[in-house]
Structure 1
């Protein structure tokens, strides 16, 4: 269980080279898994324990390599990363000067419009008449840890050169038995023959190489050239030995292949590894075994340098390959707040997107749970999102999705969870492999059992169809128990990672820091010491140093960095104190920005927040010259605000920031609800709703009506929807009035929270016809609201009881309506006090909407007992007149809904 690096060899010379580069050789394993016939050598290179296996004598190819790797993983289950190290045939070309003894390292590259993970299987595919052979198998790229180490080693060699040749010499000098077979041959034996010249019956040295016209002249390598040279790119793999120079050159040109070999393609999908090949021949018909020993040694020397670049903790964080890449596995990554869970999830998503881009048989869907969107992120929402993402990967709309749409198109209803899950299951079956990533499960809403229901559906999908699941969350008991059988890796910021992060930002600090290496070390040491696995805390601590101008001030700040459970609160307090210390303009802008982000009822985009910040309460229009630059806005917020460029949303850096402000809101944002309410009302009352907007709106309406009339034909209902002025207005406002979406949808809730229902701006809005109409054409307001809606109608619908009272006092007619009245909506929403107010002012309780429903009927339908009791003494329930409309009878509605208390209340009235 101590062995985390798996090393596979194909030939004896490769096996010898691998063993010779061990720093320490261990005793052979005492026991192996049944049916494991591999031969193993165990040992240590640097700080890593390595298990080395070799293919059986006389067996070659991808299938044998895969079998050896599988047996290794069964007997050594803690192997995290793999290496395939040995010899290969070079593919020299005008762009790649590959020579004998050089080293080729597999690396992801694009060739001919296709991105390869580093290994290209050139003999697996399909042949179609009159078309070129098409390779169809996608192979994984090496693990991130190995690719990162390759890049680091590449940079090291570029700066300082390498000592691989000397390392080989040192090994041979310690074991003279290897000298003849493994030393570097004379350069005169490195001969590249013309591609059209094939080997004859005699030895190459006797026949082929004597005539210079058969060979390719190449420039001499200078003393400054590395020997061996190292090349990074695509390695071609197949179940056949490449001995054809013509095919070699074609693949080198078409696919930018550097090297050919026979094992790697069998490993990459089940034993993702880095392939390292020493070049021993040129993949042509000319035999040359002189370079095999040295090429094997050179490749092993490179592998040792590579392992010495990798920190052991990096390998420990690579999951067991035998588990992670198996179908139907779950990887659960818990982490404390601020540890970097969302960053890790994003890295995983980006990695999978890149890996699966050309793999049409594999699907990816992901969800970011967000505490600010708990109300909208329901189980149905999650299922819809997963279904949409997977359906989009298909070349045509899947039948299951098309049928779901057709089923609900006419009635314009929402699919049920069961329907969504069934469709999701059908679409998932279209793929060979599906990955689902869910970040921040702990931020999923707790009401309606959303989280357990969602996990139940995911686990069922996984059990039935082998979906792979990756999830992150805080380490909460009820979530941990759901993943007790999953592979689990804790996410936390390691000290070395924090040091690298801080080191990368030192250039942002004053020159006194940049010129003082001891002060730089003190900053990196102190921050990495106190963060206790929380990357976010490292960011906040670093931000607190940016304004310090002397070494003394910085050292004093470092001495007082908070730690422990209260560290976030202390860091946020410090950030707010820095904001308070800014000049007045910056301070006010920062506090307004944080107020909006913290207290708004939904997330704001850059343009929405920009307009909100520009509104001047009491003004009649928006001054474009008052719009702030949003990058400047973020810069004055002491690192507490970030702009998500992908979603275009301005948000707090972390949910712990929101939690801090929720608990301390009154301290920092006094009167927040009143301020937001007044901004929304001011915006909705702007003159632009009367003048410039109306002109553009009317012009657009005419053009739209003309174009739609030519298209819609006999579908009159759809035509009316398309040319409805309110519909057109919705389109227009999203383009020209960014903040309207928020202001129209949320002004009422802020008015209620601020206890300002009778504020003069509220009355002004509800008594102004056009601003009123435009303020309610919003998805969350009143579906199908009439164009002649009154202010009293809207106030009743929104539950503004004091506003209703004020409007009635000002003489508003409670019975003005073409369909539903103010009383109908108050009853529908269960606002008993408003119902009483309206009845007292003469509202008609027996008014029916266009569907024949009365206020009493809808109150029964929705179980509003208090409203029913208020309406019963005044509402008329005439059984004789309702014979043809039984389904609108209050008693029938109450019975159908099983509402016992309502049934009792209705039956107490003698005429029912």
Structure 2
């Protein structure tokens, strides 16, 4: 294979070639795996790298060892940067705007780069160039490095056609020249690293192999006197027609590796193709290479130009070598940077921030696209002959294209015309004309009222425009990463990955488009939006305001934005700035119509014929559609040469389009049933029908006995196309888009039928009933085809019933394709059967249909055609669930007559009501609850949780859900519908418990009114009311008969809960109702109401309970009284109250501990002092014989030890083990307290039961400071 050798150098650099040490892969492919990218400050970027072409930019980025996070640009900088690192250098890479070339544009990019990165040391201009073969043996794929750059087209013209150059030789800075000399010297000693750098690049980016391998490329240099031979048919860049005998005879090189040449590079604002000029400059200036941007960069920036040779600067241009040349030049630039020392600067901390997620960008980009995104424009018939060209010379059109006039019109051109005047045709012409300008980005949207919803909405327009722009300029995808709507975009991305089909918000699309336009810089953008009248008027008004703001911003910021709208005269929306063209008033438009009539109405050139043509143009009043239709009518009339009849026929034809349509239909009464069905399907289909769908939909009604599998050899698409024309009397057509659909030939036809045409054509059909009757007809077509497939073709359609492949699997796609291939109308019939039935149900009963339609078969087929697993139905899904999910309110009402229960479980959302709520289906909610419309109920329904706000637990029934949220209207309706008031969730909570817990008084009252003993169904409601401190609900429940002594397994009665929480009003209420004041909780403590209140510091509750006669001396399971509980909890006020009320101060618990001992153990000094004041025994002992002082020393309670000693506590009191307080001294006792203990001993020689003195105790406890202090 002939490619760049990765193990040997060129003939200039023979010998073994060292490999570049392996560097870390591009952030370990950070783009792909979502790792983090480094973020540096602007001043850390010291090397600029400028490219002119996208292929040069790709090569440059591929050289980076590491990619960095993007940074904000300076205010006036319009460049787009890729930032990264090569070796020790931080590099900023920028590319000239698409379609912009030359020194001036390169200079602008370099200047902007300096604005944003003020620490730039130098700049590299790297890319492709044309070689100047001569003294140097330059070959394609070689590299030329500038020792100087000369702009050879800069100068002045003298007399006699002479031209003198005034451009000076720009030389690279010393820093770069010394680096070039260093590298050049190395190459004399060792091989260039270029092959190794390319090899490493391929490891990171294997898709760039075409940029390295040369096996299919030919390097041909023709004789300088021989020009390229161009094909007269199709212009090409190859030399297939060139005489190969005129090739220069050059000896082959020993190595395929590139040679590196050093010398002068010539720069100009045009491509060098003149061999004579090339050779003259090469001889005069020693030029090795020609290019177009180097001089612009070096005029204001210290720089070096590096060019890979892709052609020989002659007429034999060769684009095949451009990628190879760009890549090898980039590789040399990298090798050069490897030998340049890094800039000396203080290291900045690298901040780890989330990396650019290319997967996220691409997913969001793809989500903008939709199937019919270009359908309308692709279906516009081509302009006739040379029509429309008058627009190009129209003064307003020329002003619109002139940037200097933008201040007057803000880039706006609005073409208006009546129905059928040809607005879309001329817009399509203008769009295609703009597309021929390579330096302009052109995007468009053609509204289509006959298309799917996105084709006739601003959401579809914004999505389409944004998709086209980002697809054309991928660099703009960064708007997804720096948007104020990041939360929405993150959620949208996540939802898309999980196949949830999220919906774009208009405001997000508008802001993204505005952000993309702001980042365009000086790249011109033209936007064409056709048929604004085919979008709803409220949306159009907002659209125009948005684009007006864009135009104003563009004009103020110097952006090149052109916007062209077209519409009818209504709805009339004016703009402050802009140019307007009224189509019918244009002489060029009238000339187009005249030319069409002359060329299409071939009735001779007699005087009568010319009168007919003139009269026809006058009668048309600028409406091209009228002319097209009338030409066909008059041509048919002229078939027998009766020119006088043609004139009479023209006179009889109506001038209005709608009347002309009526005339066409009235003259042909054949197959009127076909026509009626055609109109119904095109007007009222849920979406435009595909050609095959339309055909079999019609057969389902016109000839159901003929239904069968589609044999494409028997019934061709050509047959179907002819049926479209015949059934519509020529007023419908098959679109030319990728997915061929059936539509009316013009929007005016659709409007004609939507008005009173149907009633006029069929007088017995009331206009008000036409839509309902039509949907009934379409439902019958769908049901007939569905039944045919299910009943008569069960084996073919339902053989997969045992297992349907995973929705997104290849097997499922193949199965869907196979079934649709045999039964083209089955998908539409299945998926929209209920839709048509629902609309028909407004006046035509659907009971029989709902009763006999096989739900099991429908679920099976709908699951087959569903591409997302999450949207498939479970086999147990109820009919109501499906109808609720689709917001089919009328069918819901009919289905409820068949089965009144709405609590049937099953389906994705478990219950029909939840399906309606989760999908924001307000009408379905009302239908399920069977409520008449009233302002109060409408307001209540509007406050329900819909869509993303709807949350429900899987174990909740609708009544449980509604009660928990206090939706009283819903609760009442559900109760009236028979919802189970005893239903429980997994925690055994009923609707009443939920309503009580959430404090919905009215809901509780409603539930109790419905069933006064609702509290009997679980034991929780009263306890919940008490725990939440809700006295009104507590009173409600008690008055309804709730048992105030009921308790769950923990024995906690209502009074115990109220006492624990200190709910005084509820305690008072419960006491009045006779609650047991001595009730005890179960478990470890066995607490009474007084104990709970005392422990928790609920003083008023304690008073209430004492007043009720509670036993103040009662003990819990641990033997603790209410006084002890208050003491250990530090409730001083309650301790004082209980002592006042006669609590036993010396009462002991099961460990023999008194209140004083508990106070000491708990460190409650104030309470210890209070108890001592009230006469507590300071020497009281517990079951172990330990006194309060012993406990204090053991617990390290220094302050309490001092207090007890001051009150005369006996230090030498011995416990059951014979030990004193000194033996229990803890590590946390302070030295001064310890000394105090020893000094308080009355007899210093006293001993304990083990005959230890205070001194020996101190020594034993290693209290050396105390030993020194004791005598």
TM-score (normalised: structure 2)? 0.40
Structure 1 residues 760 and 388, CA, compared in 2 at 3 Å: closer, same or farther?
Answer: same
Contact 2:735 2:742 in 1 (8 A): yes
Report what 1:168 is aligned to. none
1:408 aligns with 2:492: yes
Counterpart pick for 1:790 among 863, 878, 891? 878
Structure 1 residues 789 and 381, CA, compared in 2 at 3 Å: closer, same or farther?
Answer: same
1:112 aligns with 2:237: yes
- For 1:138 and 1:857, the matched residues in 2 are separated by 78
SS of residue matched to 2:686:
coil
SS of residue matched to 2:667:
helix
- For 1:697 and 1:519, the matched residues in 2 are separated by 71
- CA deviation map 1:618-652 (0-9, x unaligned): 55953535677233134434442232202523211
1:319 aligns with 2:396: yes
SS of residue matched to 1:489:
strand
Contact 1:438 1:471 in 2 (8 A): yes
Structure 1 residues 638 and 113, CA, compared in 2 at 3 Å: closer, same or farther?
Answer: farther
Deviation at 1:389, TM superposition (A): 1.1
SS of residue matched to 1:545:
helix
Please tell me the root mean square deviation across aligned C-alpha atoms, in Å. 5.6
Report what 2:750 is aligned to. 658
Report what 1:691 is aligned to. 795
SS of residue matched to 1:763:
helix
- CA deviation map 1:275-319 (0-9, x unaligned): xxxxxxxxxxxxxxxxxxxxxxxxxxxxxxxxxx99997676253
1:747 aligns with 2:796: no
Contact 1:614 1:622 in 2 (8 A): no
Counterpart pick for 2:928 among 821, 835, 844? 835
Structure 1 residues 458 and 784, CA, compared in 2 at 3 Å: closer, same or farther?
Answer: farther
Structure 1 residues 775 and 517, CA, compared in 2 at 3 Å: closer, same or farther?
Answer: farther
- Which one has more relative contact order, counting CA pairs under 8 Å at least 6 apart? 1
Deviation at 1:662, TM superposition (A): 0.8
Contact 1:589 1:633 in 2 (8 A): no
Deviation at 1:546, TM superposition (A): 4.1
Deviation at 1:907, TM superposition (A): 8.5
Deviation at 1:660, TM superposition (A): 0.9
Deviation at 1:667, TM superposition (A): 4.1
Contact 2:417 2:583 in 1 (8 A): yes
Deviation at 1:386, TM superposition (A): 1.5
Counterpart mapping for 1:837-876 below 5 A? 851=954, 854-855=957-958, 867=970, 869-871=972-974
SS of residue matched to 2:582:
coil
Counterpart mapping for 1:227-376 below 5 A? 251-252=314-315, 254=317, 317-319=394-396, 321-326=398-403, 329-356=411-438, 359=439, 362-373=440-451, 375-376=453-454
TM-score (normalised: structure 1)? 0.55
Contact 1:333 1:472 in 2 (8 A): yes
Contact 1:601 1:746 in 2 (8 A): yes
Report what 1:295 is aligned to. none
Report what 1:679 is aligned to. 781
Counterpart pick for 2:690 among 605, 627, 645? 605
Report what 1:456 is aligned to. 545
Structure 1 residues 312 and 589, CA, compared in 2 at 3 Å: closer, same or farther?
Answer: closer
- For 2:825 and 2:270, the matched residues in 1 are separated by 47
Report what 1:579 is aligned to. 668
- CA deviation map 1:190-225 (0-9, x unaligned): xxx999999xxxxxxxxxxxxxxxxxxxxxxxxxxx
Counterpart mapping for 1:609-758 below 5 A? 609-616=694-701, 619=705, 621-622=707-708, 624=710, 629-636=719-726, 637-646=728-737, 648-663=740-755, 664-668=757-761, 671-687=773-789, 690-695=794-799, 701=805, 722-723=808-809, 737-754=823-840, 755-758=843-846
Pairs aligned (count): 602
Deviation at 1:610, TM superposition (A): 2.5
Report what 2:534 is aligned to. 443
- CA deviation map 1:592-628 (0-9, x unaligned): 3333212323222223222322324655953535677
Structure 1 residues 430 and 485, CA, compared in 2 at 3 Å: closer, same or farther?
Answer: closer
Report what 2:62 is aligned to. none
Counterpart pick for 1:500 among 572, 583, 595? 595
Contact 2:892 2:924 in 1 (8 A): no
1:388 aligns with 2:471: no
Contact 2:688 2:743 in 1 (8 A): yes
Report what 2:861 is aligned to. 774
Deviation at 1:486, TM superposition (A): 0.3
SS of residue matched to 2:396:
coil
Deviation at 1:848, TM superposition (A): 10
SS of residue matched to 2:876:
coil
Contact 2:776 2:836 in 1 (8 A): yes
- For 2:995 and 2:857, the matched residues in 1 are separated by 40
Structure 1 residues 134 and 744, CA, compared in 2 at 3 Å: closer, same or farther?
Answer: farther
SS of residue matched to 2:437:
helix
Contact 1:373 1:602 in 2 (8 A): yes
Deviation at 1:130, TM superposition (A): 8.1
Counterpart mapping for 1:419-498 below 5 A? 419-431=508-520, 432-446=523-537, 449-465=538-554, 466=559, 467-476=561-570, 478-479=572-573, 481=574, 483-492=575-584, 494-498=589-593
Structure 1 residues 787 and 808, CA, compared in 2 at 3 Å: closer, same or farther?
Answer: same
SS of residue matched to 1:788:
coil
Deviation at 1:478, TM superposition (A): 3.8
Counterpart pick for 1:555 among 634, 642, 647? 647
- For 1:475 and 1:59, the matched residues in 2 are separated by 60
- For 2:953 and 2:736, the matched residues in 1 are separated by 46
Structure 1 residues 325 and 646, CA, compared in 2 at 3 Å: closer, same or farther?
Answer: farther
- For 2:635 and 2:788, the matched residues in 1 are separated by 41
Report what 2:349 is aligned to. none
For structure 2, the 5+ residue unaligned runs are: 1-155, 164-224, 240-258, 281-291, 296-311, 320-385, 497-501, 766-772, 932-949, 1009-1032, 1034-1271
- For 1:810 and 1:876, the matched residues in 2 are separated by 16
* Structure with larger Rg: 2
Contact 2:846 2:894 in 1 (8 A): no
- CA deviation map 1:537-572 (0-9, x unaligned): 111222322432442432221112323xxx112101
Contact 1:613 1:627 in 2 (8 A): no
Deviation at 1:751, TM superposition (A): 1.9
- CA deviation map 1:41-65 (0-9, x unaligned): xxxxxxxxxxxxxx99989999xxx
- For 1:311 and 1:728, the matched residues in 2 are separated by 46
For structure 1, the 5+ residue unaligned runs are: 1-54, 63-90, 98-106, 115-127, 140-192, 199-235, 240-248, 257-308, 508-512, 706-720, 839-846, 896-902
SS of residue matched to 2:733:
strand
Structure 1 residues 545 and 419, CA, compared in 2 at 3 Å: closer, same or farther?
Answer: same
Contact 1:333 1:490 in 2 (8 A): yes
Structure 1 residues 418 and 130, CA, compared in 2 at 3 Å: closer, same or farther?
Answer: farther
- For 1:693 and 1:547, the matched residues in 2 are separated by 48
- For 1:892 and 1:335, the matched residues in 2 are separated by 66
**For structure 1, which segment, 516-525 or 641-650, has the greater mean C-alpha deviation from structure 2 after superposition?**
516-525
Deviation at 1:679, TM superposition (A): 0.4
**For structure 1, which segment, 778-787 or 815-824, has the greater mean C-alpha deviation from structure 2 after superposition?**
778-787
- For 1:600 and 1:865, the matched residues in 2 are separated by 39
Counterpart pick for 1:533 among 622, 628, 632? 622
SS of residue matched to 1:365:
strand
- For 2:996 and 2:160, the matched residues in 1 are separated by 81
Structure 1 residues 801 and 374, CA, compared in 2 at 3 Å: closer, same or farther?
Answer: closer
- CA deviation map 1:203-260 (0-9, x unaligned): xxxxxxxxxxxxxxxxxxxxxxxxxxxxxxxxx9xx9xxxxxxxxx97555499xxxx
Counterpart pick for 2:910 among 815, 820, 827? 820
Contact 1:730 1:778 in 2 (8 A): no
